[in-house]
Chain A
């Protein structure tokens, strides 16, 4: 059971195996200490199970993509799951048909060897398997047809812009796309000669016969081309975007074990980057693309340039031009931690900018005594929106809650703005000082008005007291009956700040609070899909006019139901909207302070 034409396929599979094993081994060896500990500790735990389920759901069935667009989901599913089944059912078919064993490639070229080799014997369900294999091939071909259609017109598949691929990716895709039609033709030609195969293949065979190709002589060439297409695809796969096929499974496994990105690029980052299929779903949703038509800086291009050393100079520019609003990650089918990878690039490119004397003032900031009180941290941005801090002081007083306004006189930044720009060491020095002060203060709870600080305290700090955003805190005050509010006649729409919503998953508390003081109107794009206000600290390259365009789009969305007031829960967003002067903008705390009874 051998013929020369199987060689390209076998060489391809061998190359794929060797290169993948070497690559994965190298990446795993480059995990940092923390990631290694997490893997070793959880390797044999029950966390393996959700990973298997997620791998089936995402790598084979493509649920997240289906949620984005049903047809696009079908396209990916038919290619991935269809091909997977084709391989599995083909393998079973070969095992059943060859009781004396067979070389592995026979499953792939089964229809060629079936009529020729004496070792292949007829078995009971043979016609059923032939029909099943044909049905699966048809399933894959239907996906391929959609992929080709998408190349011409992508909009019906839920994508306005698609990724611009490099040469390797395009060659590999050509090889992938030719695999299944070649298989159909090759099997059809064999069927014309030997009358084997299921409904589809024999139909193609009949067609050949009808077209006058009695005993087609090009049968062998077709099988050779099929094998060549497979060989080319497999050997290019580790160097192209199709590396995501296997890598995603590894990524899902590691992620379920609890591995996360660190400050620096590690082997785990390589898994994340290679798990990106460059589908380009991140492009359409990016506000920088939507409003400014800049479509070369999104996650897909970031990962592409970071992965390739020759493109590093572009990676820096790409990494900086992002608001880190997280809108892309919301619908990323692979769930790549794009924000952290961006930060890694920023850290790398900012390494030369270092001012060890810049934080001398930290020594002069004195600890405070807040024993038994709530520590209130307005945050730097709230200093620019005194309406919010005034409202919070009023609410604390109304609740009879003793509090200490931490940064009223002397304040230290929470460190997140520095962190977002990749200044890890500098952010650390601020964080250490703050952490030490909070620990000494004796406060029972930390309430902050700024979602940026909130995310920082929750994710970057290790505080021994609970942390609440003021929307959560106000919600608890109302629920406990510590403050009483009346429902006003105003109608409001609520803007989800990126840092609070997508950043920390706080969607419900501000809405609950708003419903108790005003009429909350629904808007088109909210919660996880909310639009960035444009003035996020994450971006330092956009000009004010460009930021204003992004803000105006968010405002259009918020003002569509004609609310009396636009409500938000972030001083940054409030300032952004207030500058536009298109409608009154109020923080949730201000609305509550106004409705206190």
Chain B
């Protein structure tokens, strides 16, 4: 289920081992969460290139891709747990859930003005602007200042999402650098709680952003955003390192929206009885059986389990393929 990085990588690995694989994809095209990006952190590789390489893997003769197919029914084929599964009237020996994530709906944090003030955008909308190489403020002029706000809908008790979405920190660093590359005169500020530069080269990227691109990082959250008469955004925040409240007017406010379980993940994991915290699918355990579920023949991979980067998802898809093959051997 799901033709994202995890689903495609697993399908390719299984097909190479001689299995027949059907990939169900809800959208008309696969990899919708990759093809909407410009470049990927940390090496600024083009997202389209990576997507093309992944798509090429689907051309294996053993793989049949069914796009635009929103699965409505997953059930065990019989009372015997080894009997396999039925998905919308087709029978399978194993089912892999790789239904992925969606981004947090920023309108749920009304105080940040998304959907109310034209200068407030989500990180996905900025990514689109970067992709089009056309960054404009709300009155179509070149922006002079851009403010990024981290942790919108992640690590936020009030919205009920206590978890860290893991990749927004480095995404903001990446986007700030891209914006500075496109518009060297723009002032870029990133408001953060902590910067979690956990991956390879992330810390270096953060340093580069400060040293080479002059991106300014402010520790503190933005409490509210308001509009100005000229279509810009006025923010109120606190610099918690200085211990001072501050106000700032910016052309654009970019909300780094966190990852949430996608509708498909919620629906199908509930249907299969493996829905865990925050609507993500739950594996047997996070260490040694992370692709297995309590139900025989049902496997999980990728960001339907928790926030994951592209790299993590691809590795997890491959590991799920290995788990499926081992289970088949044991049977």
Residues in chain A within 8 A of chain B (CB atoms): 383-387, 390, 544-545, 548, 574-575, 578-579, 581
Alpha-carbon distance between A384 and B109 when the two chains are bound, in angstroms: 8
Q: Which residues of A contact B224 (CB under 8 A)?
A: 383-384, 386
Query: Secondary structure at chain A's binding surface: helix, strand, loop or mixed?
Result: helix
Alpha-carbon distance between A385 and B116 when the two chains are bound, in angstroms: 10
Contact B105 A385, beta carbon cutoff 8 Å = no
- Contact among B108, B111, B158 with A386 in the assembled complex (CB-CB below 8 Å): B111
Contact B113 A579, beta carbon cutoff 8 Å = no
Alpha-carbon distance between A383 and B111 when the two chains are bound, in angstroms: 7
Known contacts A384-B111, A386-B117, A545-B160, then 6 further A-B pairs from the complex at CB < 8 Å, ordered by chain A residue:
A383-B224, A386-B110, A386-B113, A386-B224, A579-B160, A581-B108
- Mask of B302-328 contacts with A, CB within 8 angstroms, 1/0: 000000000000000000000000000
Q: List 16 A-B contacts (CB under 8 A).
A: A383-B111, A384-B111, A384-B224, A385-B111, A386-B116, A386-B117, A386-B225, A545-B160, A574-B110, A575-B110, A578-B108, A578-B110, A579-B108, A579-B160, A581-B105, A581-B108
Give residues 21-35 of B contacting A (CB, 8 Å). Answer: none
Q: Which residues of A contact B226 (CB under 8 A)?
A: 386
Which residue from chain A places its CB closest to the CB of B162 in the assembled complex? A544
Alpha-carbon distance between A176 and B110 when the two chains are bound, in angstroms: 58
Known A544-B160, A579-B158; contact A387-B108, beta-carbon cutoff 8 A: no
Q: Which residues of A contact B113 (CB under 8 A)?
A: 386
Which residue from chain A places its CB closest to the CB of B157 in the assembled complex? A544
Distance from B62 Cβ to chain A, minimum over Cβ atoms (Å): 40
Distance from A73 Cβ to chain B, minimum over Cβ atoms (Å): 42
Distance from A391 Cβ to chain B, minimum over Cβ atoms (Å): 10
Which residue from chain B places its CB closest to the CB of A575 in the assembled complex? B110
Q: In this assembly, does B107 line the interface, its C-beta being within 8 Å of a C-beta of chain A?
A: yes
Q: Which residues of B contact A575 (CB under 8 A)?
A: 110
Q: In this assembly, does B159 line the interface, its C-beta being within 8 Å of a C-beta of chain A?
A: yes
Query: How big is chain B's contact interface, by range?
Result: 10 to 19
Q: Which residues of A contact B107 (CB under 8 A)?
A: 578
Known A544-B160, A548-B160, A579-B158; contact A387-B105, beta-carbon cutoff 8 A: no
Distance from A373 Cβ to chain B, minimum over Cβ atoms (Å): 19
Alpha-carbon distance between A544 and B160 when the two chains are bound, in angstroms: 8
Q: Which of A383, A386, A578, A581 has the most CB of B within 10 A?
A: A386
Which residue from chain B places its CB closest to the CB of A385 in the assembled complex? B110
Alpha-carbon distance between A383 and B234 when the two chains are bound, in angstroms: 12
Q: Which residues of A contact B225 (CB under 8 A)?
A: 386
Distance from A385 Cβ to chain B, minimum over Cβ atoms (Å): 5
Q: Which residues of A contact B111 (CB under 8 A)?
A: 383-386
Which residue from chain A places its CB closest to the CB of B226 in the assembled complex? A386
Q: Which residues of B contact A581 (CB under 8 A)?
A: 105, 108
Q: Which residues of B contact A545 (CB under 8 A)?
A: 160
Which residue from chain A places its CB closest to the CB of B115 in the assembled complex? A387
Contact B116 A544, beta carbon cutoff 8 Å = no
Give residues 98-127 of B contacting A (CB, 8 Å). Answer: 105, 107-108, 110-111, 113, 116-117
Known A383-B224, A384-B224, A581-B105; contact A544-B110, beta-carbon cutoff 8 A: no
Contact A387 B116, beta carbon cutoff 8 Å = yes
Q: Which residues of B contact A390 (CB under 8 A)?
A: 116, 227
Q: Which residues of B contact A578 (CB under 8 A)?
A: 107-108, 110
Q: Which residues of A contact B227 (CB under 8 A)?
A: 386, 390
Which residue from chain A places its CB closest to the CB of B160 in the assembled complex? A548
Alpha-carbon distance between A544 and B161 when the two chains are bound, in angstroms: 11
Which residue from chain B places its CB closest to the CB of A389 in the assembled complex? B226
- Contact among B116, B117, B159 with A579 in the assembled complex (CB-CB below 8 Å): B159
Contact B158 A544, beta carbon cutoff 8 Å = yes
Q: Which residues of B contact A579 (CB under 8 A)?
A: 108, 158-160
Q: Which residues of A contact B157 (CB under 8 A)?
A: 544
Which residue from chain A places its CB closest to the CB of B104 in the assembled complex? A581
- Mask of B128-170 contacts with A, CB within 8 angstroms, 1/0: 0000000000000000000000000000011110000000000
Q: Which residues of A contact B108 (CB under 8 A)?
A: 578-579, 581
Distance from B122 Cβ to chain A, minimum over Cβ atoms (Å): 15
Distance from B232 Cβ to chain A, minimum over Cβ atoms (Å): 14
Q: Which residues of B contact A386 (CB under 8 A)?
A: 110-111, 113, 116-117, 224-227
Alpha-carbon distance between A387 and B112 when the two chains are bound, in angstroms: 10
Q: Which of B110, B160, B224 has the most CB of A within 10 A?
A: B110
Distance from A579 Cβ to chain B, minimum over Cβ atoms (Å): 5
Alpha-carbon distance between A575 and B117 when the two chains are bound, in angstroms: 18
Alpha-carbon distance between A548 and B113 when the two chains are bound, in angstroms: 23
Distance from B233 Cβ to chain A, minimum over Cβ atoms (Å): 11
Distance from B192 Cβ to chain A, minimum over Cβ atoms (Å): 21
Alpha-carbon distance between A544 and B162 when the two chains are bound, in angstroms: 11
Alpha-carbon distance between A574 and B224 when the two chains are bound, in angstroms: 16
Q: Which residues of B contact A384 (CB under 8 A)?
A: 110-111, 224
Which residue from chain A places its CB closest to the CB of B236 in the assembled complex? A383
Give residues 173-232 of B contacting A (CB, 8 Å). Answer: 224-227
Which residue from chain B places its CB closest to the CB of A571 in the assembled complex? B110
- Mask of B20-58 contacts with A, CB within 8 angstroms, 1/0: 000000000000000000000000000000000000000
Distance from A374 Cβ to chain B, minimum over Cβ atoms (Å): 20
